[in-house]
Amino acid sequence: MTEQDKTTSPLSFSFSPRYTDLDTWRHVNNSRIYQLHLEARVLAHVSRFGQDAWFSDDVRLRPLRTITDYRQVSWYGRDINAWISVTDCDDDSFRLRCELYQDGALVGTQESVMAAFENGHRIALPENIRTVMAAASNGSAGPLAPADYRDHLQHAHNFAIRQQLTPRYADVDADSQRSESALALYMEQARSTGVRQLDFDGLGVLVASVDVSFEHYQAGWTPLELAAGISRIGNSSFLFTSCALHKDAVQVSARSVMVVIDPATNRPVPISPALREQLEAWSI
C-alpha cells in the first residue's frame, strides 16, 4: 500500500448498540443509526485533527446536507462497524461517505456535505482543514440528487400535518448550539406524527432513505412548529416532505422515502386504495 493509499483509506470504528437505542419493533431506531453515522464522522475528525477537535469556540464544521439510506434493520447485542471515507473536497465544503456493517452485511450508508460556520454564518473551509481533507479525498464522490423537496417549503404553512414542539436542553450540543442529531430527530418526529394517523390495515411501513437539509444551528428555546405533507405516492412507497419552522423561518427540512411492507415477509407490497386515499388528502 502506497502512502497515498494510506492517506485516502477509510477509517474504521466499532459501536455497540444500547438497549435504549431500540424502538418498538425491537431493532435499532433509525434516529440512533443516524447518530452512529454522526459519531463516526466526529471520531474520524478527531483522528485527523487531534483529541480536542470534537469541539470549537470559533469555526465549526457542520453538515449542509445528509442523505441516509437504511438498507437493513440492525439488532441489539451485535456490534456495528463503521467505515468512513472522504470522497471530495473543495474550497468551501467536503464530502464524506459512511458505511455501517453488522455481521458482515451492509446495513446503512450516509452521504454528508460538510461546511464551515463561524458565528452562525457559512465561511470558506479553514486552510488546515481543506489541506488535510483534500489529501484524504479518494475522489469517488458522485453527483447528489437535487434537493428539490426544498421547493415545497415556501408553502409549508399549508402542509396538512402540523405539530408544535418545545426544544429541550438536550437538543443543544457541546458547542452550545442546536445539535445536528436534534434537528434530525425533529424530522423523525414530523413524519412519525403523520404515520401514526394513518390506517395501514395490518400492513407496516419502513423508512428507506432520509435526505436532510440543514439551514440553521442556532439554539433557541421558543417552540418550533413541525410541518409535513406527502409529495409523491408510488406503487409501494410514498415521500414525506417535512420541515421545522421557527417564526416561519425554516431551520431544517427533509424528504423521507417510506415503503409499505407486509410485516410477515418484510417485503414491499402495493399501497391499497384506502391508504392511497388517506395519503392523497395530505398531498402538497
In sequence order, what DSSP letters do the residues of 13-28 get, joined into one string? EEE---GGGB-TTSSB
* Distances in whole angstroms, Cα of residue 94 to Cα of each of 88, 90, 113, 137, 201: 5, 6, 6, 9, 44
What's the pLDDT at 218?
Answer: 85
Given a cut of 80, whether residue 1 has pLDDT beyond it is no
Given a cut of 90, whether residue 209 has pLDDT beyond it is yes
User: Residue 202: which region, alpha, beta or left (left: phi > 0; alpha: psi -120 to 50)?
Assistant: left
Fold classification of 146-284 (topology level): Thiol Ester Dehydrase; Chain A (3.10.129)
Task: Look at 3 and 12; give whichever has higher pLDDT.
Answer: 12
| pTM, two decimal places | 0.95
What's the pLDDT at 7?
Answer: 82
What's the pLDDT at 4?
Answer: 60
Question: Given the DSSP bridges, would you call strands 161-165 and 224-233 parallel, antiparallel or unpaired?
Answer: antiparallel
pLDDT digits (tens, 9 = 90+) for 171-202: 999 999 999 999 999 999 999 999 999 999 99
Helical segments of the chain, H only = 3-8, 30-49, 127-136, 180-195, 273-280
State how far the Cα of 118 lies from the Cα of 217, in Å rounded to an integer: 11
What's the pLDDT at 9?
Answer: 93
What's the pLDDT at 85?
Answer: 98
Given a cut of 70, whether residue 3 has pLDDT beyond it is no
Given a cut of 80, whether residue 6 has pLDDT beyond it is no
CATH number, domain 1-144: 3.10.129.10
Given a cut of 80, whether residue 2 has pLDDT beyond it is no
The answer to whether residues 190 and 227 touch, using CB atoms and an 8 Å cutoff, is yes
Q: Quick one: what percent of the chain has pLDDT higher than 90?
A: 93
The answer to whether residues 183 and 236 touch, using CB atoms and an 8 Å cutoff, is no
Q: How confident is the model at residue 13 (pLDDT cuts 50, 70, 90)?
A: very high
Phi, psi of 30, rounded to the nearest 5 degrees? -60, -40
Q: How confident is the model at residue 59 (pLDDT cuts 50, 70, 90)?
A: very high
State how far the Cα of 245 lies from the Cα of 233, in Å rounded to an integer: 25
pLDDT digits (tens, 9 = 90+) for 216-248: 998 888 999 999 999 999 999 999 999 999 988
pLDDT mean over 70-94: 98
Query: Can 1-144 and 146-284 be said to share one CATH topology?
Result: yes
Domain limits of the chain?
1-144, 146-284
Given a cut of 60, whether residue 14 has pLDDT beyond it is yes
Say whether 119 sits in a helix, a strand or coil: coil
State how far the Cα of 184 lies from the Cα of 4, in Å rounded to an integer: 35
pLDDT digits (tens, 9 = 90+) for 103-114: 999 999 999 999
Round the average pLDDT of the chain to a whole number and report it. 96
Closest CA to 183 of 257, 231, 253, 241: 253
Given a cut of 70, whether residue 5 has pLDDT beyond it is no
What letter represents residue 222's amino acid? T
**Cell digits for 80?**
456495528
